[in-house]
Amino acid sequence: MAAYTEEEQTEDYLFKIVLIGESAVGKSNLLSRFARNEFFPNSKSTIGVEFQTQRIEIDGKEIKAQIWDTAGQERFRAVTSAYYRGAVGALIVYDVSRRQTFDSIERWLNELQTHSDMNVVTILIGNKTDLKDGREVSTDEGKTLAEAQGLFFLETSALDSSNVATAFHTVVREIYNILTKKVF
């Protein structure tokens, strides 16, 4: 076990990460699964926290991931520029059982690029892989779109937990890698 001085224990980084994507794709449940290991079978789109902070350790550094949830704003096409401000990471989520939510990904990408003043580390997430019989978007389609747009890609299930932590960790790790390469 590593021994820490008091100074080293202070938080080293704070990353703002935003969740975006159509209503009911599972954004709030991905966050509650990741942050509290909770899942809500009948969650209402308007219920949700503004953001949730998770501590993640990489290379002995403590990173605070401040993960923002739309809490239903997206239903009214009213995700504000304040929501995006200062974000260094994003998860763009669709529902693999609803094609319409996949078709809207490019619109969300445009919105993200319009509102952010830097390169945001972005992962495309196909959620609800547990709904095997209801699948409308194949893994290959997701992968192809992600490659074309230069995004990371994972399929997840907030219901059965698969890949949920990996999705958030992938974004945090990549932001950390870019920051510590000291390319500025």
Q: Which residues bind ligand GDP (CB under 6 A)?
A: 23-29, 40-43, 45, 127-128, 130-131, 157-159
- The nearer residue to Mg ion, 149 or 161, going by C-beta atoms, is 161
Rg (CA), the chain: 16
The tokens for 91 are 């998860």
Instruction: Assess 28 for contact with Mg ion (CB under 5 A).
Output: yes
* Nearest approach, Cβ of residue 129 and ligand GDP (Å): 7
Secondary structure (H, E, C), 130-152: CCHHHCCCCHHHHHHHHHHHCCE
CA distance 19 to 158: 14
Q: How far is the CB of 184 from Mg ion (least distance, A)?
A: 35
CB neighbour list of residue 170: distance below 8 Å, 6 or more residues apart? 123, 152, 154
- DSSP letter, residue 119: P
Q: Which residue is nearest to ligand GDP (CB)?
A: 26
Comparison of 89 and 126: residue with beta carbon closer to ligand GDP:
126
Q: How far is CA 9 from CA 66, 172, 175, in A?
A: 18, 19, 20
Q: Does 32 bind Mg ion (CB under 5 A)?
A: no
Closest approach, Cβ 23 to Mg ion, in A, equals 7
Of the pair 122, 157, the CB lying nearest ligand GDP is at: 157
In angstroms, the CA 124 to CA 167 distance is: 9
Q: Position of tokens 């995006």? A: 84
Which of residues 48, 89, 126, 142 is near Mg ion by CB under 5 A?
A: 48
Cβ proximity to Mg ion: between 4 and 40 the closer is 40
Nearer to Mg ion, 63 or 69 (CB): 69
Q: Which does 122 bind (CB under 5 to 8 A by kind): ligand GDP, Mg ion, none?
A: none
| Shortest separation between residue 23's beta carbon and ligand GDP, angstroms | 5
Instruction: Reduce the DSSP state of residue 65 to 3 states and report it.
Output: strand
> Which residues contact Mg ion (rule: CB under 5 A)?
27-28, 48
